[in-house]
Chain A
């Protein structure tokens, strides 16, 4: 089933078309990569899907339901969670409370207190932050802050997770760990849409890749198809 369908979405900033007639989709449990040079409109597309921006025209459907123009908190509660390109954690809040916040507000069904505690502990274990649960997030290193964003997003019980440059700024070991984390999330049955510049990560873990350039989709396909696509090579390397 198609969990996310983006149809002919257009968004202009002044005279600049940050997204023009972009159409793509993501299947249940699939990892879709979104790549393109700087300014191609990747983050704009994320903002459109997550409700931070409203498209000028076009449709966005989640599980067949039209979600165009809904507010971010509504979209989160429906089952789309996201992380941010530049880390956006709550500096003075504890790691535990980040997850509690996501669990309490992003997840429409309410659960008894002991189950909440159990699930939060599980999520912290899952991303490998259980030893830091009482730390304030500003005291964490970047790699841990990024994992904290993932934990907060997972706490909202998403069916689709948008990861905006999860690996940017991480060292080699941390990139491998992040890739492992992304795979583990998919094994839980969560579909993933990811923007990434780390090519190794994209090529290794994505099932399908969508290439954007100047707000337009120029290619789409399996990683090996995209890597040999003429238009893509031209955009990345010049003629």
Chain B
């Protein structure tokens, strides 16, 4: 197989496997794979903005939760793709607004702000539900798990194509320049604010879309589930674990990590967090560039060239 057809080939193979999966696997496995896909999509979306620009965002849980609530409120009246899109748009708008206000903050300050945003929106939603709606949680019209699974596969394909398109485009080049030296980017004619805010919002769109889709699977939602802070930290850890230089990094990272998460949580419920912490520790110590770094090193050794540090 020539190099040119390698990645398209892998993608087609992967899609065929994903498409055929529910025919042969049990309901448990389909739901499990839906979960894995959820993490893969959130991580890929996170990498679109934070991986490229180096602005570490801890806001995914906020965008996810906004997607959940936007769709939960509308789920009884609308057609599936429509309310999924509305969930995404709600997150897009929130990120656009927040981004325009805060993307002048750099480094740690931006990260702290995004972390605060999750708490703020969670508490606000909680307050609203109790005081205005008069409930704690909501029951949502549920769909069967196969439909949810296929929706997730389609979203995965969309986010993958979007990421690929961005990386190949001039827009992606502008993003890279912002990540490597924002000042020089601005003096080379890049409208840094616009590029950052739009990308932040685009990344939030996909996270909102995933939130809206997962709502249909959970059937019951409340603010602590919708705005689970784990959803903010997991994509960061998964992206570090997988590596961010190539598109396969976040996919492999998120897949391995979520499978590991599931196995540890079911087999070792009491030592789960401990084992998880140790795993993370080992990864950061011995694989500083993630799975991608290991593969890169291995390929270099194969070729016989000197190993290169990036």
User: Residues of A at under 8 Å CB distance from B?
Assistant: 50-52, 71-73, 76-77, 81-82, 84, 88-93, 97, 100-102, 104-107, 152-153, 155-156
Question: What separation, in Å, do the CA atoms of A72 and B170 have in the docked complex?
Answer: 19
Is B188's beta carbon under 8 Å from chain A? Answer: yes
- Selected A-B contacts with CB under 8 Å, 30 pairs: A50-B187, A52-B186, A72-B187, A73-B191, A73-B192, A76-B186, A77-B189, A81-B188, A84-B184, A84-B187, A88-B181, A89-B181, A89-B184, A90-B185, A92-B176, A92-B310, A93-B173, A101-B177, A101-B185, A101-B190, A102-B188, A102-B189, A104-B170, A105-B174, A105-B190, A106-B188, A106-B189, A107-B189, A153-B188, A156-B189
Residue of B nearest to A75 (CB): B187
Best-surrounded residue of A51, A97, A104 (most CB of chain B within 10 A)? A104
Residue of A nearest to B174 (CB): A105
Residue of B nearest to A137 (CB): B180
B173 touches A104 (CB 8 A): yes
B184 touches A73 (CB 8 A): no
Give the interface residue-count category, chain B. 10 to 19
Main DSSP-derived SS at the B contact region: helix
Question: What separation, in Å, do the CA atoms of A37 and B212 have in the docked complex?
Answer: 62
Question: What separation, in Å, do the CA atoms of A100 and B310 have in the docked complex?
Answer: 23
For residue A104, which residues in chain B have a CB less than 8 angstroms away from its CB?
170, 173-174
5 tightest A-B CB contacts, nearest first? A106-B189, A105-B189, A90-B180, A88-B184, A76-B189
User: Chain A nearest CB: distance from B182 CB in Å?
Assistant: 10
Question: What separation, in Å, do the CA atoms of A92 and B175 have in the docked complex?
Answer: 13
A76 touches B180 (CB 8 A): no
A100 touches B187 (CB 8 A): no
B180 touches A82 (CB 8 A): no
The residue that B173 contacts in the complex, of A71, A97, A107, with Cβ under 8 A, is A97
B188 touches A156 (CB 8 A): yes
Residue of B nearest to A152 (CB): B188
Given known A-B contacts A90-B176, A90-B181, A101-B177, A52 and B189 have beta carbons under 8 A apart: no
For residue A102, which residues in chain B have a CB less than 8 angstroms away from its CB?
188-189
For residue A82, which residues in chain B have a CB less than 8 angstroms away from its CB?
187
Besides A71-B186, A107-B189, 14 other A-B contacts (C-beta < 8 A): A50-B187, A51-B187, A72-B186, A81-B188, A90-B180, A90-B184, A97-B176, A101-B173, A101-B177, A101-B185, A105-B170, A105-B190, A153-B188, A156-B189
Question: What separation, in Å, do the CA atoms of A189 and B284 have in the docked complex?
Answer: 53
Best-surrounded residue of B173, B186, B189, B191 (most CB of chain A within 10 A)? B189
Given known A-B contacts A73-B191, A76-B187, A77-B189, A100 and B180 have beta carbons under 8 A apart: no
User: Chain A nearest CB: distance from B140 CB in Å?
Assistant: 44
A73 touches B180 (CB 8 A): no
Best-surrounded residue of B170, B174, B188, B191 (most CB of chain A within 10 A)? B188
A93 touches B189 (CB 8 A): no
Question: What separation, in Å, do the CA atoms of A1 and B183 have in the docked complex?
Answer: 31
For residue B180, which residues in chain A have a CB less than 8 angstroms away from its CB?
90-93
User: Chain A nearest CB: distance from B167 CB in Å?
Assistant: 12
For residue B184, which residues in chain A have a CB less than 8 angstroms away from its CB?
84, 88-90, 152
User: Chain A nearest CB: distance from B166 CB in Å?
Assistant: 14
